[in-house]
Every structure is written in C-alpha cells, then in structure tokens.
Amino acid sequence: MDQCGQLADTHDKWDLLAALTHAAEEFGLSHRTLGVLKALMTFFPDRGIPAEPDSAVVFPSNRKLMERLNGMPESTLRRHLASLTSIGIVSRKNSPNRKRYARRASGNCQLAFGFDLSPLARHAGQIFDAALTAKSQAEYLALLRENVAVLRQKLIEATSGQAEDLLESVRKLLRRKPCKDALSQAAEALQAEIAALPAAEEQSPPTLPATGLSDSGSQNERHIQDSDKSVFDSEEHMAADKKNKTQSHPAAKGSAEKGVELADVLRACHEFQSFFPGQLQNWQQADRVAETLSPMMGIDMPVLSDARAAMGRKDAATAVFCILEKMGTIRSPGAYLRRLAQKARNGQFSTAPMLQALLNGPVQQPIAS
C-alpha cells in the first residue's frame, strides 16, 4: 500500500474494516485475512484509530488470537498476520526479544510492542476510494448480468426452445460468478442470435381482441400469477380448465378426460420426498414443491412458467416430479421441459405415459432420449 505522507484524522475502525471488505480483491485480502484483522481490532479499546505512528498498538498473544478466531491453527494465523504486514495495513513494532507486551506507568500504557493499527488511519483515503470503486464495478457487473438474463429469456421466447447450446452455456455462466468479459461476450452472442432470427419469428406487440376480453379459461391460462394461492382450491375451476384444454387440443382428448390423479403421482415419484418428507395433501402443495425443486434441478423459473402456461400447473408439477425421478438419464432438465411444453401446445403431450413408465419399473425406456 502506498504511503500517504500526511497524517489523517482518527477513523472509525469498523468503517475501515467494512471498506476493506468491499475492496478486498483490490488489496489481495481473503476473508480469513480480514477475519484476523477484525480480531486484532477487537483488542484495541477505542473505536477510533488515530493516524499517529505507534499510537494504536495491540499486543495479544497468538494463543489469545487463536481463541478469538475459533481455534484457527497457529501456522494459518502466522500466515495471515504476515499478509497484513506485507500489504501495509498493519505494521509490526517488535520488542528486543520479539515478544508482544506493554509497559505501564501510573496505570497508563507507556510503551507497547505488537501490531500497530495506525497505518489503517493513514491510508484511510486510499481504502475508502478503493471501496467506492469496487462497489461501482459490482453494480455495473450486476447490470450486465441482468442484461444477459433478459437477452437469454428473449431468445427463449423468440425461438420456442431452439438454440439450446447457446442457451445452456449462458445458463451455466449465470449460475457462476462470471467476469465482465465473459458477460459481455455472452451478451454479444445472444444479440447476434436474436438479430439473425427470421422476421416471421419476431415477437409482435400483443393486441386486445376487437370483441373485448373473454372469460375463457383456455385463453386466460397463459397469464401466470404465482401468488394466486386459490388456483387449485376450486374443483369447478379445475373441471372447466380440463374441459377447455380438451377443446383446444383434440389430440390430447383421451388424456384430458382421464386426467392425472395425485395418488398416481405419489405412487410413481418418490425422489422429491428426499427434499420434502411427508405426504402431499393436494395439488396446490405439489405445485409449490415443484416450484421449489425446479431451480435445484437446473430448471429456470421462466421455463417452469412456460410449462405451466402450456400444460397447466398440475401437469407441469407432474412433469417436474417425473424428471426428478429420471435425472440420471436427462442431460438438460430445463431444455427437456421446454420440449414437453412445446408438445403440449401442439396437443401431443400427456403425463400419463411418463407415470406409467415409472410405475412399470426400470425395464421401461427412460423418459429422456
């Protein structure tokens, strides 16, 4: 750390620690090194650290520091103390025998040997500037990350699940902590893919029908209101929804008439109970469990919402449970659920064969190719 050359005023030690935490990467500090610095600060009785050299010396033994650090090994403690002194955040004031102690006279500490915290106050301006810069960079990175997520969702909606390799690579990128360059490259790739789409696949702004809004369940089921807890509460609503789906997709008529019973799902699917032990009492509970499991399985919320709109919440929850049962045979659960949603829109999907395959045991073909 560069020397400022001018003494600054007293600075709050916890404000300095918070700033160093934000700028840890700038100064090459790990969270454990910061933990050792925090332990040293606890031995300084005042909250404000003065800038005058040798005015903020603490002299705890390694044993006391190890106790305050929940039993950190002494070799690890020595390494982090050496890191703090080499960076210049603290300085050593060694006694002739290199022991840490203080000499007192009339009850006051007149001479102390140990670690001097005053460099923190002298470099406070540099520390706070670095913290502000780090926070600005983090905010920019968050905005860039959000832009990539928006572009990815736009591509999903525009291609109905195509461009899977790019979408999958971006999904994996967003699950990590990518750097600015990786996010910029992902944004450029997504923008290029969107720009290359045929004009026929471009999204047109939604318009209201000339006759006004309809109360048809088959039209309204694309509006997804996750906070609506009464979606499964009405048997009449479920029956009307089932009837409308049958009329919209004649090819799935037999499946819609038969329907899927929760008891069949519970008999065929058991893996979800490893995360949510206990008996599911109704479809509303099943829907909530499926929504919680989806991110753990690599299924993004927009993909689950799209599946709910295409096949209804009951079948979407059933599909999630079935996919969890066959996780070992499905390379990309999110892409697989998108394909099922597309089939459901074309009236070519039913959860009955998936459940039957699970009930018949391992001799059946896996549900994913």
pLDDT band at 218 (very low <50, low <70, confident <90, very high): very low
Query: Residue 226: is its pLDDT beyond 70?
Result: no
Q: Residue 34: what pLDDT?
A: 92
Q: Residue 289: what pLDDT?
A: 87
In a domain, 217, yes or no: no
Mean pLDDT for all residues in the chain: 76
Same domain for 240 and 355: yes
Q: What is the pTM of this model?
A: 0.44
Same domain for 237 and 170: no
Same domain for 336 and 243: yes
Q: Residue 199: what pLDDT?
A: 56
Same domain for 301 and 245: yes
In a domain, 221, yes or no: no
Same domain for 142 and 55: no
CA–CA dist 205, 317 (Å, integer): 30
Same domain for 274 and 337: yes
In a domain, 349, yes or no: yes
Q: Residue 55: what pLDDT?
A: 83
In a domain, 302, yes or no: yes
In a domain, 209, yes or no: no
Same domain for 149 and 174: yes
Query: Residue 76: is its pLDDT beyond 60?
Result: yes
Query: Residue 225: is its pLDDT beyond 70?
Result: no
pLDDT band at 145 (very low <50, low <70, confident <90, very high): confident
Same domain for 283 and 236: yes
Instruction: With beta carbons less than 8 A apart as the criterion, state whether 58 and 115 touch.
Output: yes
Same domain for 239 and 181: no
Show the DSSP H helices in 114-203 as ranges.
118-122, 124-159, 164-175, 180-195
Q: Is the dihedral of CA 66, 69, 74, 77 positive or negative?
A: negative
Domain count, the chain: 3
The rounded percent of the chain whose pLDDT value lies above 70 is 74
Phi, psi angles (nearest 5°) of residue 93: -125, 100
Range 280-288 average pLDDT: 86
Range of the domain at 155: 137-197
CA–CA dist 173, 118 (Å, integer): 42
In a domain, 352, yes or no: yes
Same domain for 250 and 278: yes
Name the domain boundary from 92, 122, 152: 122
Which of 57-61, 217-221, 240-244 shows the highest mean pLDDT? Answer: 57-61
Q: Which helix (H) or strand (E) holds 264?
A: helix 262-268
In a domain, 202, yes or no: no
Phi, psi angles (nearest 5°) of residue 116: -95, 125
In a domain, 6, yes or no: no
| CATH number of the structural domain spanning residue 41 | 1.10.10
Q: Residue 107: what pLDDT?
A: 55
Range 63-86 average pLDDT: 90
Query: Residue 206: is its pLDDT beyond 60?
Result: no
Same domain for 95 and 24: yes
CA–CA dist 22, 133 (Å, integer): 9
The residues pairing with 109 across neighbouring beta strands, listed in sequence order, are 104
Same domain for 56 and 99: yes
Name the domain boundary from 122, 152, 170: 122
